[in-house]
Amino acid sequence: MKRVLLTLLGIAALGISAIACADPSVLRLATTTSTENSGLLGDILPRFEKDTGMHVKVIAVGTGKALRLGQNGDVDVVLVHAPPAELKFVAAGYGVNRRKVMYNDFILVGPASDPAKISGLKNVEDAFRRIADSHSLFVSRGDDSGTNKKELAIWKAAKITPHGKWYRAAGQGMGKVLQVAAELDGYTLTDRGTWLAYESKLPLKLLMQGDPRMYNPYGVIAVNPSRYPDVNYTGAMRFIAWLTSVEGQNMISAYRKHNQQLFVPMAITNAKSTHAAR
């Protein structure tokens, strides 16, 4: 009886081990809602899957949550847009082999009536001050995403602590926040890629752009296999290599909405690109 029990326990242990070990044919990617909402992943991932025979399981959340998934070893690779948080993630030993991938920029959109009178401004702090001073409705991501981190940094630089009925934290992804801002005639900070994907569906207008502080770079990081031996590190590195290759970078460069380029490749400077940072 004891021998049978030990055998059963051994089989169970093997089963648990098999479940814990990464499936080399599946890559778990934690990324931002902007890469999903903009349609970029839907455009480029099928090529990666065809080239490698792998299946990519996408978990689209805010940058903060994506990094926490990596920190817990629940994904194999992260694609996010908050460089200070990315560097901290790597320095703490949760990620390795960080590479720059692409960039776009943040913009301020809002109602056509523009009650805060921010249209045409070139200083994002001035735009935020006008919104706050006029108590014009502002819809925040409120989700610890890269966009939310940028927004909070701008409020801090403007020496404003946003609060009150005019400031709403949605706790949602970028596409949903744009929809909420449109429904409530509010302002919001968005990445340009998601805006271009949603622009034709919403009554909002692009009102403020061009401040260099609204630069928005994206990085890709493999989850550290030394800390989490069961992650699909080989798959993560294949993805990083492909995303930063000539093929991957050219596909990023070629992706368009309304005949406008959404993301500019960074890993290869001669990737085909017609976009200039605004």
Q: Are both 98 and 111 inside the same structural domain?
A: no
- Domain of residue 128 covers 105-214
**pLDDT digits over 77-117, tens only?**
999 999 999 999 999 999 999 999 999 999 999 999 999 99
Per-residue pLDDT at 23: 86
146 falls within a domain: yes
5 falls within a domain: no
Q: Are both 90 and 119 inside the same structural domain?
A: no
- This prediction has a pTM of 0.81
Paired tokens of 172: 């949602």
Q: Are both 109 and 62 inside the same structural domain?
A: no
Q: Are both 185 and 240 inside the same structural domain?
A: no
Q: Are both 116 and 209 inside the same structural domain?
A: yes
Residue 21 pLDDT grade (very low, low, confident, very high; cuts 50, 70, 90):
low
Q: Are both 67 and 84 inside the same structural domain?
A: yes
Higher pLDDT, 271 or 236: 236
92 falls within a domain: yes
Question: Helix axis angle, 40-52 relative to 233-243, nearest 10°?
Answer: 120
> How many structural domains are present in the chain?
2
Q: Check whether 261 has a pLDDT greater than 70.
A: yes
**pLDDT digits over 44-73, tens only?**
999 999 999 999 999 999 999 999 999 999
Q: Are both 144 and 208 inside the same structural domain?
A: yes
8 falls within a domain: no
Per-residue pLDDT at 269: 72
Q: Are both 97 and 112 inside the same structural domain?
A: no
Question: Helix axis angle, 40-52 relative to 246-254, nearest 10°?
Answer: 150
277 falls within a domain: no
Q: Are both 92 and 141 inside the same structural domain?
A: no
Which of 214, 235, 255 is at the close of a domain?
214
Q: Are both 28 and 163 inside the same structural domain?
A: no
Q: Are both 170 and 124 inside the same structural domain?
A: yes
How far apart CA 53 and CA 247 sit, in angstroms, is 16
Contact 93, 224 (CB under 8 A): yes
Which has the minimum average pLDDT: 4-8, 173-177, 261-265? Answer: 4-8
Per-residue pLDDT at 276: 38
**Cα 247 from chain centroid?**
21
Q: Give the N- to C-terminal CA distance of the chain in Å, as an integer.
A: 74
230 falls within a domain: yes
Which of 214, 242, 273 is at the close of a domain?
214
Contact 138, 166 (CB under 8 A): yes
276 falls within a domain: no
Per-residue pLDDT at 270: 63
CATH code, 172: 3.40.190.10
Q: Are both 100 and 222 inside the same structural domain?
A: yes
278 falls within a domain: no
